[in-house]
Amino acid sequence: MPVTSTKNLVPISDLREGVVILKNGSLRMVLEVSAINFELRSAEEQTAILQGFQRFLNSADFPLQIVVSSRELNINNYISAVDKIVESAESELFRIQAVEYSRFIKELSSLSNIMSKKFYVVLPFYIYETPEKTGLTQSLRGLFKPKEVAKEVTDEQFETYKNQLMQRAELVYGVLVGLGLKITPLKDEDLKQLYYNLYNPTKN
């Protein structure tokens, strides 16, 4: 079987102005969404949040993807920083409290993995709004016959498609901000880091 280059298996063709261009010519915009502590809200607030999220889903007349990224958090550097504070503490009371806090964190991390979670909304734009099939069969076939030549997207096409994505992002932004969430569109460097971490899963 011929050797397949790793880059042929990655569907990304380019990153430009906060937009991911895939090899099939379609585009993606990724919005990072903050979290809220739902359990601490009153019953009325919880109902309002659920109704708002329902309106958000019903108002979207385009496909979107909600992604939750969970990664094991490496807190060794944090613990080291706390220990240094303990060593340099002048106040005996503060030092005792810091020691107890450091011990608590170490015991907690030894009992279970401490996870960090990030939430994203991925907005796609397909040429002619006709998504390609991406089922299991097609995905496996792509491993053995990867697309070597990416579809070209002209500057004029890119601007047109990007404007469509921006309109969708504004709709998502308006609804989710109303739920008390903070929305941050990922820029090129953020996208590079995100995709690198997805393809290279390690502790944060």
Say yes or no to pLDDT of 84 above 70. yes
Say yes or no to pLDDT of 189 above 90. yes
Shared-domain flag, residues 86 and 67:
no
Do the Cβ atoms of 125 and 26 come closer than 8 Å?
yes
Shared-domain flag, residues 80 and 64:
no
Exposed e or buried b for every residue in 143-181, given b needs 16+ CB within 10 A?
Answer: eeebeeeeeebeeeebeebbebbbebbebbbebbeebeb
Tokens of 10: 């990655």
Please report the pLDDT score of residue 150 as a whole number: 54
Shared-domain flag, residues 135 and 55:
yes
Is the residue at 170 inside a domain? yes
Say yes or no to pLDDT of 3 above 70. no
Please provide the average confidence, as pLDDT, over all residues in the chain: 78
Say yes or no to pLDDT of 178 above 50. yes
pTM for the whole structure: 0.69
CB neighbours of residue 91 within 10 Å? 9
Shared-domain flag, residues 80 and 181:
no
Shared-domain flag, residues 176 and 141:
yes
Say yes or no to pLDDT of 82 above 50. yes
Shared-domain flag, residues 139 and 195:
yes
Shared-domain flag, residues 141 and 193:
yes
Is the residue at 1 inside a domain? no
Shared-domain flag, residues 40 and 60:
yes
Is the residue at 204 inside a domain? no
Domain boundary pick from 111, 127, 161: 111
Q: What is the 3-state secondary structure (H, E, C) of 60-86?
A: CCCCCEEEEEEEECCCHHHHHHHHHHH
Our count of domains for the chain comes to 2
Average pLDDT over residues 108-134: 73
Tokens of 181: 């969430």
Average pLDDT over residues 148-157: 71
Shared-domain flag, residues 170 and 122:
yes
In 3D space, the residue among 183, 166, 187 whose CA is nearest the CA of residue 175 turns out to be: 183
Burial class of residue 21 in the structure, from the number of CB atoms within 10 Å of its CB (0-12 exposed, 13-18 middle, 19+ buried)? buried
DSSP, res 159: H
d(CA 62, CA 54): 15
Helices 76-88, 92-111: inter-axial angle, 10-degree rounding:
160
Burial class of residue 189 in the structure, from the number of CB atoms within 10 Å of its CB (0-12 exposed, 13-18 middle, 19+ buried)? exposed
pLDDT digits (tens, 9 = 90+) for 5-32: 556 667 888 889 999 988 888 889 999 9
Shared-domain flag, residues 55 and 99:
no
Please report the pLDDT score of residue 29 as a whole number: 92
Is the residue at 141 inside a domain? yes
Average pLDDT over residues 163-174: 89
Is the residue at 53 inside a domain? yes
Domain boundary pick from 88, 111, 134: 111
Shared-domain flag, residues 126 and 62:
yes
Parent domain of 162 = 6-71+117-199
Say yes or no to pLDDT of 140 above 60. no
pLDDT digits (tens, 9 = 90+) for 32-58: 999 888 888 889 988 988 988 888 888
d(CA 26, CA 23): 7
Shared-domain flag, residues 34 and 84:
no
Q: Which residues contact 178 (CB under 8 A, 6 or more apart)?
A: 52
Domain boundary pick from 57, 85, 111: 111
In 3D space, the residue among 19, 33, 15, 32 whose CA is nearest the CA of residue 125 turns out to be: 19
